[in-house]
Each structure stands twice: as C-alpha cells, then as structure tokens.
Amino acid sequence: MYCIETSLLSKSYGDFVAVDGIDLKVEQGKIFGFLGPNGAGKTTTMKLLTTLIPPTGGQMNILGIDAISSPLEVRKKIGVVLQQPSYEPTLSVEKSLEKYGMMWNVEKKIRKDRVEELLSAFDLVDIRKKKNDDLSIGQRRRVQVAREFMHDMDLLFLDEPTAGLDPSARRGLLDFIKSKVKDGLTIFFTTHILEEAEYLCDDIAIINKGKIIAVDTPEELKNKFGREKTIKIHISEQKNISSLLSGIQDCKIEYDSGVIITVRSSQSEQVLQNILQILASNGITVEDLSVVPTSLEEIFLSVVKNSNA
Ligand SMILES: Nc1ncnc2c1ncn2[C@@H]1O[C@H](COP(=O)(O)OP(=O)(O)OP(=O)(O)O)[C@@H](O)[C@H]1O
Ligand SMILES: [Mg+2]
C-alpha cells in the first residue's frame, strides 16, 4: 500500500489549470522530494494532498483513506508545514510548542518531554522565552517546523521547510527529518535547493506548469539525464590548441582563454584519452585536470527547459 496515491489529480482556478492530472505514488517510510520552478504547482498539490483545498478532478488516497470523501480522517493522521509563515505573535517559543501539543491532545508528560527535545533539536533553547514577534525570520521558521513534531503522525508534508534557514540550521533540520524517517515517518517535501533533495530524498518528482515531467531516484535521474561530464584541462602555455583538437569527435570544446579547455561529453573517458594523447605528442604540459559529473541542478534546468519547449 502507498501512503500517497493519486490518479489524474487536478486543480483549476477558472480557466487556469494549476495542477494538471498528476499521478503520484509515495511509499511508506520514504522521503519524497517535490521539485519545480516558481508557480509550477507544488504548493497547490500540497494543499490538495492535505485536504486544505478540494480538487477539481481525479482521485487521491492518503494512508489508505479516500481523501476526497473523508478529509477529516486524513487530517488526524498527517502533519503539514505550509510555505506561508504562521505563528502567534505574543506567544513565547516554548509556549508555542506546548500549545500545539495541547491542540493535538498530547498527554502532559509526553508534551513536556517533546518540548525539551524539540527546543534542543532545533537550537531554540537560548530563545525559549522570546516572543515569536521578536524572533528573526529563520528562528520563526524553525519554531513553525519544530512545533509540527509535537504530535504523532504517519505522514508529514513540508513546503520549503528550509527556506530562510542558515546552512547549519538547514543541515540540522535535514538530519532531524532523517532520524524521524528511520522511526517510520513518511515525508513529502518541497525545496528549491537541489543538493538538499539529493541529500535527503529517496525519490524525486519534477513538476512544471502543473504536470509531472520526471519521477525517479536522484541517482537514476542523473543516469538518465546526466551521463554528460565536464572536463576542464589547464595547460601550461598558450598554443594554437583549437586546430590541434579540431578532429576530436563526440564532444563540445570551449576555449575560455588560451590555457583553459572545457570539454563536455557523454563519452568523457574516451574523449579525455584522445585529448591527452594529442597534447602529449605536441609537447604541451597539463597543469591541472578535473572531470565533474553533471549536477542535479543542471539536470533540473535542462528537464524544465525541454518541457517548456
Ligand atoms: N487561489 C488561486 N487562484 C488562482 N490562481 C492560483 C491560486 N493559487 C495558486 N494559483 C496559481 O497556481 C499556480 C501554481 O501555484 P503554486 O503556489 O502551487 O506554485 P509553487 O510551485 O508552489 O511555486 P513556488 O515555488 O513559488 O512556491 C501559480 O501560477 C499560481 O499563480
Ligand atoms: Mg509554493
């Protein structure tokens, strides 16, 4: 059974189709990353899946429950942190957590323990008595994400939870999420930070203009779209290098300056061998050499660009 399963799920606003017939399958205990450019339909999809807005078409089953006919059943079992900031200005950090636990009827002893655990996990101990109003934007976001972990849930939706967090707070949150997933939680997660998706997610879907244009593991996405590698060769002296290398096949070569050659190829090993041979036989010394696989970020940009074409 899947934790999230949708079929042709759609949402229109008048003539505008924000989510256009998407099919999603998310397995239990996984972290599912949902990526896409601004306005692609990520938040709208999240609002549909968490039953905050009704779909205009399609089916969705959340945790084995028909989410269209029984939205309240679903809401008892999920957590959601929306993209929009949400806080009570006059409540202190610790009271915000405490109150959230009370709202979810968490037993007093467990509530107290969780407040302490979360204050520490989200690095909020020093500011526990501060009012939300007096917090920095990143601190406020940390409180907003932390409080969601006050209650038990089977499935958690996070809409850009790390937006506004500094690198160490971000890494802290990602590792905290990983530890909760080890304990059985399933996560549906949106981000614009590709390294973050790669670090965290078991599967990734890319959405553009309301349609899903790719779904796979980060590794497979790279295999499918990113066989190409970039080779940079730094040579010692300026020579008329372009004519020497003009016969090499299966690659694109750029000559940024006289001494740096950038080569892009999906057959990087063969191409590199050929180039090094030519350089050696012409007495040109290689000062530095690097071969870099195409990043998930480049794949994302090219997949989105192709789907716009
Ligand atoms: N209530 C609404 N009425 C009309 N159009 C809407 C409404 N809500 C969202 N949209 C439109 O739907 C599209 C998808 O919006 P959505 O918020 O889902 O994008 P997103 O992928 O979350 O983008 P971002 O990365 O900026 O958060 C946008 O073009 C947006 O303008
Ligand atoms: Mg959004």
Of 16, 47, 193, the one to substitute when testing ligand 1's pocket (max ligand atoms within 8 A of C-beta) is: 16
Name the strand (E) or helix (H) holding 252: strand 252-257
- How far from each other are the two terminal CA atoms of the chain, in whole angstroms? 36
The answer to whether position 180 is within a domain reads yes
The enclosing domain of 259 has a CATH number of 3.30.70.1150
198 and 170 co-located in one domain = yes
Provide mean pLDDT across the span 233-243.
80
Point out the least confidently predicted range of 127-131, 183-187, 202-206, 232-236. 232-236
Examine the pLDDT at 238 and tell me if it is beyond 70.
Answer: no
Instruction: Give the domain-ending residue among 223, 239, 259.
Output: 223
158 and 282 co-located in one domain = no
Interatomic CA distance for residues 259 and 261, integer angstroms: 7
Ion ligand 2 residues within 5 Å by Cβ: 42-43, 83
Instruction: Give the domain-ending residue among 202, 223, 244.
Output: 223
100 and 158 co-located in one domain = yes
114 and 247 co-located in one domain = no
Of 296, 256, 291, nearest in space to 271 by CA: 291
pLDDT score for 302: 77
Backbone angles phi, psi at 16, to 5 degrees: -85, 125
258 and 184 co-located in one domain = no
The answer to whether position 42 is within a domain reads yes
82 and 209 co-located in one domain = yes
Interatomic CA distance for residues 99 and 28, integer angstroms: 29
Of 15, 44, 191, 300, the one to substitute when testing ligand 1's pocket (max ligand atoms within 8 A of C-beta) is: 44
Please, are residues 299 and 222 in contact by the beta-carbon 8 Å criterion? yes
Q: In sequence order, which residues have a C-beta less than 8 Å from that of residue 213 and are 6 or more positions away?
A: 206, 207, 303, 304, 307
205 and 278 co-located in one domain = no
Of all protein residues, the one whose alpha carbon is nearest to atom 7 of ligand 1 is 13
250 and 275 co-located in one domain = yes
The answer to whether position 304 is within a domain reads no
Sheet of strand 203-208, all strands in order from the earlier edge strand to the far edge: 78-81, 155-159, 186-190, 31-35, 203-208, 211-216
Instruction: Tally the domains of the chain.
Output: 2
Ligand found nearest the CA of 39: 1
pLDDT score for 226: 67
pLDDT tens, residue by residue, 259-284:
888 888 888 888 999 999 998 998 88
Sheet of strand 16-27, all strands in order from the earlier edge strand to the far edge: 16-27, 2-13, 57-62, 65-66
11 and 48 co-located in one domain = yes
68 and 211 co-located in one domain = yes
Interatomic CA distance for residues 50 and 62, integer angstroms: 9
pLDDT tens, residue by residue, 283-309:
888 999 998 876 777 777 778 888 888
Please, are residues 67 and 51 in contact by the beta-carbon 8 Å criterion? yes
Give 80 Cα–ligand 1 centroid separation in angstroms: 18
Domain that holds residue 287: 227-293
91 and 197 co-located in one domain = yes
The answer to whether position 13 is within a domain reads yes
> Ligand 1 site: residues with CB under 6 angstroms?
13, 16, 18, 36, 38-44, 83
Give 250 Cα–ligand 1 centroid separation in angstroms: 41
The enclosing domain of 140 has a CATH number of 3.40.50.300
Q: Which atom of ligand 1 sits closest to the CA of residue 83?
A: 27
Instruction: Give the domain-ending residue among 207, 223, 239.
Output: 223
81 and 176 co-located in one domain = yes
Point out the least confidently predicted range of 133-147, 196-210, 251-265, 267-281. 251-265
Give 191 Cα–ligand 2 centroid separation in angstroms: 9
Please, are residues 237 and 201 in contact by the beta-carbon 8 Å criterion? no
Kind of pairing between the strands at 31-35 and 57-62: unpaired
Of all protein residues, the one whose alpha carbon is nearest to atom 26 of ligand 1 is 38
Q: What pTM value is reported for the model? A: 0.84
pLDDT score for 118: 97
The answer to whether position 301 is within a domain reads no
